[in-house]
Chain A
Amino acid sequence: MGNIDFSTKAVEMRNITKKFGDFTANDNIDLTVHKGEIHALLGENGAGKTTLMNILYGLYQPTSGEIYINGKKVEITNPNVAIKLGIGMVHQHFMLVDTFTVTQNIILGMEETNSLGVLNLNKASQKVEELSKKYGLYVDPNAYIQDISVGMQQRVEILKALYRGADILILDEPTAVLTPQEIDELMEIIRSLTSQGKTVIIITHKLKEIKQVADYCTIIRRGKKIDTVKVEDVSEEQLASMMVGRNVSFKVDKTDREPGEVVLEIDNLYVKDNRGLDAVKGLSLKLRKGEVLGIAGVDGNGQKELLEALTGLRKVESGKIIMNGQDITNLSPREIIDSGINNIPEDRQKRGLVLDFTVAENMILENYHKKPFSSGGRLNHKAINDFATELVEKFDVRPRNIKQFAGALSGGNQQKVILAREITNNPEVLIAAQPTRGLDVGAIEYVHKYLIEQRDKGKAVLLISFELDEVMDVSDRIAVIYDGKIVDIIDAKVADERTIGLLMAGGGVDGEQKE
């Protein structure tokens, strides 16, 4: 707090509106950040935080609104302009050349050369070392990117921005990919930067980090600015309610239903992520017939790994998954499908569809080897086409052309194809991961209706979603996942957003877990 120079507005964005077609990503947003301040942008996924910062960095042009840097009105037409104005941005996904050294990456595009145009790597390396000492960003200038940790790679990204003379640093979800230790180190670095007169804007939806490091916080919800608050003056709870609170209630019609017996049981599950670190850490959960169990949580708390372990796509390190009394731990995807688990995958274009297949071919992805779609190894095109035609009609896939390539469909219609396929299988357990991501309101309602229908038929639905509203609307019970564990399970009827929001952000974790 002591570093803030209230006489200088490093960034001032006035009435920023950004529309993508009919969709308004930013609606008349104001943002003021003083020199030397750590300013957090808080909001749910898709709230418009990153869009706003991309505008500041020149990646997008605002539909309307004005930007002032250090009091001067500017037009940031592209990132080069932003860099000249002293703005640097570290994206969530790093943009580094793996086979280059730290120094080579940092100087890329701004190489030190002598009069003959020959690269002077020694001089560059020295400069990088000076910078890293000055801000406490310790890196080995000669290490290769592929050999250093993600936390180190992030430092390289920050150094890259500083090397280009950045005074205002934008960090987009900087902790999403870091380990807890790396997060602590990053917080130190951010403080050290502001103590030397830099201004930092950090995009996040983690409350703890905001409390830990930020001076001020601007909350954005569905493209609108809710408020800017002094972080000292508010509690995590208040921040949570501002982040998830809503103006419109979009309640899903559903009747009370007494859940049946346990159909899927997860017992003390451990799963590693791609980096070999534990992502699911002793998770236990019981799913009953005739219920929708929602898993609420912020992205990156083990949901992806849990989902992949449940569907046989990722190895379970220890623990058990029991389906109808049968141990299905580490079975193949097909054996798991055959045991009665179907899945609406998180990433429909990566997992859910073969984009170069037709709609008809996609409809049989899990059942092509079964009758009537094939017999004796031969596909029965007529049965496939009849089936696809029926589903396209029933699930209102547009256009009604089963010969269309899946890649040519809109996102919503692609999702309908997956939904049609998975629900028509009528599985005992349907795992729906982010089933409404990127869909418009109409399509979302539609997906929710089908999930509830499955439940009313006495089937079990496990809903994994980053959208708290969705989890609250659709679920009967809500399990909150944080750091690879279920931290609490709450009856949806008595759940309130504030409590869940707080649990999601790691507030009130007492180390004890429930099942």
Chain B
Amino acid sequence: MVNRKNKIVITFISILFGLIVGALALAIAGFNPLEAYKIMFEGIFGSPKYISWTIVRSTPLILTGISVAFAFKTGLFNIGAEGQYIIGSLVATLVGYFFKLPIVIHAIVAILAGCLAAAIWGGIAGLLKAKFGINEVITTIMLNWTALYLSNYVVFWEPFKRPNRDASQQILDTARIEILANWKVSDAGREFLKNNEFLKDFLNPPVNFGFIIAILVAILVWYILKNTTLGYQLRAVGFNKDAAEYGGIDVKRNMIISMMIAGAIAGLAGATQVLGVSRETAILTAAEGYGFDGMAVALIASSNPIACIAAGLLFGGLKYAGSKLQPLIGAPLEVINITIGVIVFFIAMPKLIDILISAINNRKRGVEVENTK
């Protein structure tokens, strides 16, 4: 059986396999894989700026990953993180632009509003499942598209749309959660950073509080699942509905709560992205994929909320570094997508790796037996 220690080993072997197969893909496409991986490695760790970009890119993935992982721990498959993300970013933008509030409070209100709206969005799927038994996979997929077009519709609304742009108005500065955003561009800030190369470089990208929020959320979710009666109920429903019902737990209510929490976390991803990085909601022709990538992150993390931080960073790092291959050696972005796909692929079938490990062990043992003869 796959135990916890094996799980970690399998995860690392899977990542390794992914990198190897990715290298094959690169080689077949006529690129030197070692060179490509070197570029990617330097693309992440080569400068403080790259590190902070990796963190910024990873933040929404960590959060959507936690959203999917949380739902999964409670027996639900949240494919709707994408739509919940969109709703979260839309509402955060609306509050960020239309509300006039003092700094800090404005950001908190915008975040909470985004979370609440996304919680309701997720809750719809939970309610439909609890009341009518409609599979949440179906409803969340449909709600993704509903969210996408709803968002576009609202952005086209006259008072909200930025003239001559395919995007909404930008949020007010009071709602921003970028770290030292105004100070960075002020005279004093420029002066200070001139003498501090590392900090200047690190703060160059829109470093924001989103990452810290993501870590806190990971810990909070872990705590809820492990140490609260709510977590106990949710897990009982996820593991064995019938036994939970027998034990007096309201299964339907817990399904709705679970989807609402999952929705809120995905919405938080959207809200922090708006308030920390993009500052606007763009008109989308297709989903950006944060929710879908969240599923991969949750999978890599074995649905452990804390592990979602590392998995999100890995995923975000690969995507970010992969994007540098194109300009530097002309390798297509698809190669990096193949690599990520292969990693997820191997993690999705731990049995195979398990078999491989035991096959190798058996062969070793076989050799030992041969030798002792």
Contact = CB atoms under 8 A, between A and B. Distances in A.
Max chain A CB contacts within 10 Å: which of B228, B236, B247?
B247
Interface in A353-389: 353-357, 361, 365-366, 368-369, 374, 377-379, 381
Given A350-B242, A354-B236, A354-B239, A365 B247 contact: yes
A333 B245 contact: yes
Contact residue range for chain A? 20 to 34
Interface string A293-323: 0000000000000000001010000000000
Contacts of B227: 378-379, 381
Interface in B228-272: 228-233, 235-236, 239-240, 242-250
Contacts of A351: 242-243, 246
B240 to A, nearest CB: 4
Contacts of B233: 368
B247 A333 contact: yes
A311 B246 contact: yes
Contact of A352 (B226, B230, B231, B243): B243
Given A354-B240, A356-B239, A381-B227, A361 B246 contact: no
Given A356-B240, A357-B239, A365-B236, A377 B228 contact: yes
B76 to A, nearest CB: 15
Interface string A335-358: 001000001010000111111110
B230 to A, nearest CB: 6
B248 A357 contact: no
Contact of A333 (B228, B236, B239, B248): B248
Contacts of A368: 229, 232-233
Interface residues of B, number: 21
A403 interface: no
A286 interface: no
B334 to A, nearest CB: 37
B157 to A, nearest CB: 41
B232 A350 contact: no
Interface string A415-437: 00000000000000000000000
Q: Is the interface of B mostly helix, strand, loop or mixed?
A: helix
A163 B163 CA distance: 74
A379 B233 CA distance: 11
Given A377-B228, A378-B227, A379-B229, A313 B236 contact: no
A354 B248 contact: no
Contacts of B231: 379
A352 B240 CA distance: 10
A379 B246 contact: no
B229 A313 contact: no
A83 to B, nearest CB: 32
Contacts of A332: 248, 250
Contact of A350 (B229, B230, B243): B243
A378 B243 contact: no
Nearest to B244: A354
B239 A355 contact: yes
Given A356-B240, A357-B235, A377 B246 contact: no
Nearest to B224: A377
Contacts of A133: none
Given A378-B227, A379-B229, A345 B246 contact: yes
Nearest to B223: A378
Contacts of A366: 247-248
Contacts of B235: 354, 357
Nearest to A355: B240
A334 interface: yes
A366 B245 CA distance: 10
Nearest to B243: A354
Interface string A236-260: 0000000000000000000000000
Contacts of A353: 240, 243
A365 B245 CA distance: 10
A379 B246 CA distance: 20
Given A334-B248, A357-B235, A369 B243 contact: no
Contacts of B228: 374, 377-379
Contacts of B246: 311, 313, 333, 343, 345, 351-352, 365
Interface string A440-457: 000000000000000000
Contacts of A334: 248-250
A421 B137 CA distance: 36
Contact of B245 (A313, A357, A378, A381): A313
Interface of B: 226-233, 235-236, 239-240, 242-250
16 contacts: A311-B246, A313-B245, A313-B246, A334-B249, A337-B248, A345-B246, A352-B243, A352-B246, A354-B243, A369-B229, A377-B228, A378-B227, A378-B228, A379-B228, A379-B231, A379-B232
The 5 closest A-B pairs by CB, nearest first: A334-B248, A365-B247, A356-B239, A351-B246, A354-B240
